[in-house]
């Protein structure tokens, strides 16, 4: 105990090897936080918001796309990736003075890598009440197989 207090033992002369990296991360976090000069405006997150679930036969991708029409969407499957892209169109009110403007318009794209092989020919998608559901069947080799135990 006395040795620790007098000589700062066992930390005497030892430095955290990641101390400089932590300092740089804090600096970059601070720097990135100052890039948006508009006060009180939330930064745009990832759009659209997506949930990805799976069952024994398929992956189910659900995305929130309020106000988007089917003709404004493009869904593509490449390898294990599903890409949802489109355009959100919001018409500005004529001769309006905005006090708050948080709804963004413009093009968006979101790519999701699925954890297993898929059957791209059987993918189905539906858009209902602003909710997009894409059902991506698993390939036969990716589906779990029940093994029979012989006695």
> pLDDT for 75-102, tens place per residue?
999 989 999 999 888 888 888 888 887 7
Number of domains making up the chain: 2
Angle CA(114)–CA(65)–CA(54) in degrees, nearest 5? 30
Residues with pLDDT less than 50, the chain: 35-44
- Whether 7 and 78 map to the same domain: the answer is no
Asked if residue 38 belongs to a domain, the reply is no
Give Dmax (Cα) for the chain. 81
As to burial, measured by CB atoms within 10 angstroms (0-12 exposed, 13-18 middle, 19+ buried), residue 22 is exposed
Count of beta carbons in the 10 Å neighbourhood of residue 63: 24
Co-location of 12 and 80 in the same domain: no
Is 41 part of any domain? no
Is 48 within 8 Å of 110 (Cβ atoms)?
yes
Same domain, 64 and 23: no
- Only one residue has tokens 């030892």, namely 14
The pTM is what?
0.63
pLDDT at position 40: 45
Residues 16, 57, single domain; the answer is: no
What integer pLDDT is reported at residue 5 of this predicted model?
Answer: 53
- For β-strands 124-128 and 73-78, DSSP reports them as unpaired
pLDDT of residue 55: 93
Which domain does 10 fall in, by range?
2-33
Strands 73-78 and 50-54: unpaired
């Amino acid at each position: 105990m006395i040795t620790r207090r007098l000589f700062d033992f066992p930390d005497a002369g030892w430095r955290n090897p990641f101390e400089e990296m932590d300092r740089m991360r804090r600096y970059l976090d601070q720097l990135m936080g100052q890039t948006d000069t508009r006060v009180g405006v939330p930064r745009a997150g990832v759009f659209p918001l997506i949930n990805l679930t799976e069952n024994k036969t398929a992956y189910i991708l659900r995305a929130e796309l309020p106000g988007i029409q089917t003709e404004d969407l493009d869904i593509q499957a490449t390898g294990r990736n599903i890409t949802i892209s489109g355009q959100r169109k919001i018409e500005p009110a004529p001769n309006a003075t905005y006090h708050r403007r948080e709804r963004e318009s413009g093009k968006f794209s979101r790519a999701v890598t699925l954890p297993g092989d898929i059957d791209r020919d059987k993918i189905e998608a539906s858009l209902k009440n602003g909710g997009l559901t894409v059902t991506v069947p698993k390939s036969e080799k990716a589906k779990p197989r029940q093994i029979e135990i012989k006695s």
